[in-house]
Amino acid sequence: MRVAYHPDYCIELPPTHPFPMGKYPGVHRLLLEEGVIDAGDVMRPEPAPRALLERVHAREYLDKLETGTLSPAEVRRMGVPWSARLWRRSRLATMGTVLAARAALQDGLAGNLAGGTHHAFADRGEGFCVLNDVAIAVRALQQEGAAGRFVIVDLDVHQGNGTAAIFESDPDVFTVSVHGERNYPLAKMRSTVDVGLADGLGDAEYLETLERVLPDALDRAKAELVFYLAGVDPAAGDRYGKLALTEAGLRARDRCVAAACRQRGLPLVLLLAGGYAPTPERTARLHANTFIEAAAEFGAATAPLPERAARYRPR
């Protein structure tokens, strides 16, 4: 399967910063080692051009990002210190999602080894998110005439508040968020479908909920492309998660999403979103599993996988 990746997705943060930058090269390495991708499958993005960013974000906000003139309060809210490298990294990862979306329309399945920065609003960054990559990719594809209707399946444990706000009154973008009800962000925005989960929820109840919500949402959305924010922070032991999914439970979740899309002939874009396991290596493992499960379901791995399915054909 084709994936977008750039070594500069990973930038140096202050040593005490909680964001696990090391997960990006970690996922890339695991997918190569395990034959889910080969070097020829890797698309290398350029920074997303300003004109594209302006289709979603306020000019004043982009000016501040470009010139490093965010206020201290705005930087605190964003949760990552501003630097020229952060600004470039944010545009690289955004373009990675655009490339992955185009590839998924051609191949049925593709991904970005970053992305899913769903707490970014049109006019501000929040919660480690600078630019809303999925919103920008939606607008890029609409502008190109590649696709008009989208569904965003956000299973990161935190509500996709920025995405929900950006698309709240857009009938062409169906947003689904399954998240911890008592977790960040405490002030939830309105997605098309919101499911708030109780703290401590485990595999069985989580998967039952997903089975109840997801097929119906995909049928109602009548979309041409699915963006899947496969945050791995619902995992037990996650620093910010508060849920209790096992590794097997997360894999079942990923398989459930991929199967629901494949059965409907819906092209699928995989995005990392959040994950704060005890080590970046562990976080990378959980993210890699998403790609392994989806590739197996779509029959899209470069090397044969044990559970390889019949090769996907777009409808």
Looking at the DSSP assignment, which residues form a beta bridge with residue 229? 154, 271
Indicate the Cα dihedral angle 189, 195, 199, 202, nearest 10°. -150
Reference 43, options 89, 107, 111; nearest CA is 111
Nearest distance from residue 33's CB to Zn ion, in Å? 26
Look up residue 226 and give its two tokens: 């699915």
Measured at CB, which residue is nearest to Zn ion? 274
287 is catalytic: no
Nearest distance from residue 44's CB to Zn ion, in Å? 26
Nearer to Zn ion, 126 or 156 (CB): 156
Q: What DSSP designation does 245 have?
A: B
Residue 5's contacts (CB-CB under 8 Å, 6 or more residues apart) are 24, 28, 42, 43, 44, 96, 112, 113, 114
Contact 95, 53 (CB under 8 A): no
Angle made by CA atoms 292, 235, 260, in degrees to the nearest 5:
45
Strand 268-271 relative to strand 225-229: parallel, antiparallel, unpaired? parallel
Nearer to Zn ion, 96 or 162 (CB): 162
Nearest distance from residue 115's CB to Zn ion, in Å? 13
DSSP-based three-state secondary structure for 260: helix
Nearest distance from residue 274's CB to Zn ion, in Å? 3
Calpha distance 78→80 (Å, rounded): 6
- By CB under 5 A, name the binding residues for Zn ion: 156, 158, 231, 233, 274
Calpha distance 17→296 (Å, rounded): 35
Nearer to Zn ion, 6 or 242 (CB): 242
Catalytic residue (one of 118, 119, 158, 287): 119
Nearer to Zn ion, 156 or 203 (CB): 156
Nearest distance from residue 246's CB to Zn ion, in Å? 18
Nearer to Zn ion, 156 or 297 (CB): 156
Nearest distance from residue 157's CB to Zn ion, in Å? 5
Reference 117, options 56, 41, 49; nearest CA is 56
Q: Which residues are catalytic?
A: 119
